[in-house]
Amino acid sequence: MDAIADEAGGKRARGLDRAFEILDFLRQKRQALKPNEIAAQIGAPRSSVYELVNLLLRNGILEFSGGDGRVYLGRKLYFLGAAYEHHFDFTRECEAALERLADETRETAQFCMLDGNKYTVVRMREGARPFRISTDIGQSVPIPWTASGRLLVTHMSDAEILDFIPKEDFRLPDGEWLDPQAFLAEVRQAEADGFFTFNSIVDSFTHCFAVPVMDEGQAAATLCLVTPKADGLANRDRYIDCLKAAASGLSHAPKRG
């Protein structure tokens, strides 16, 4: 009987893993898809994907969108997110910090975290410039492409970092490969300095700044500025000081309500 119970529990766990995989896939694709398209692109059996999609539809986690049986993330996820934000004061503190940074620097300010083994922008406040410099909120980006990525893995050993980051993520947008050892050296320098800045790998016109938001001795998140290259270099010290001051106010969060 114990073996049967273990097998049933294992199937439920695999079903949950697959359901989360479907949700995360739709989040990354940012478009409604048919269940058979989801199954093909995540490499899952169509029968199990259809079963899970129907379960998620019944519970409002997915909704039909765009016709032809396409599905996308459901509004219940919004209410779950709203409940999370109500429980944690951290979100409101973060929004205030980003607003201050954008006002003080006129640059685009971002709050960033790891999402699995990728980097993502969680919150953003655009600066006062007439043109837009930003990354879409929630978009997954390889860790080595980002200034924040050098700070968000500092709590790991070098071997853990190389095991954590997919090898293909060291291929840069222009097709060149970033030497993993060079990346590790930048991680350790960022850890010692308490910040990291560089000319963006993704956008040749911008300069990026990041400082850690500390929680229990490690970088749980980062505050960032994304600036035009010339302005970023000209105001480097001031921008770093602004970021550090803002991050210090967040580093004792989250506060539980």
CATH code for the part of the protein at 88-250: 3.30.450.40
Among 67-76, 80-89, 98-107, 217-226, which stretch is predicted with the lowest mean pLDDT? 80-89
- For residue 1, the model assigns a pLDDT of 52
Cis peptide before 142 (omega within 30 of 0): no
% the chain with pLDDT above 90: 60
Pick from 48, 43, 58: nearest CA to 16: 48
Is pLDDT of 88 > 90?
no
What's the CATH class of domain 2-78? mainly alpha
Domain boundaries, the chain: 2-78, 88-250
Largest CA distance in the chain: 70
Contact by Cβ (8 Å): 18, 49: yes
Q: How far is CA 5 from CA 11, 12, 38, 62, in A?
A: 10, 11, 30, 29
Instruction: Identify the CA nearest to 112 among candidates 84, 144, 138.
Output: 138
Q: pLDDT, tens digit, for every residue of 113-125?
A: 998 899 999 889 9
Q: Report the C-alpha gap between 67 and 54 in whole angstroms.
A: 16
What pairing do the DSSP bridges indicate for beta strands 206-215 and 218-228?
antiparallel
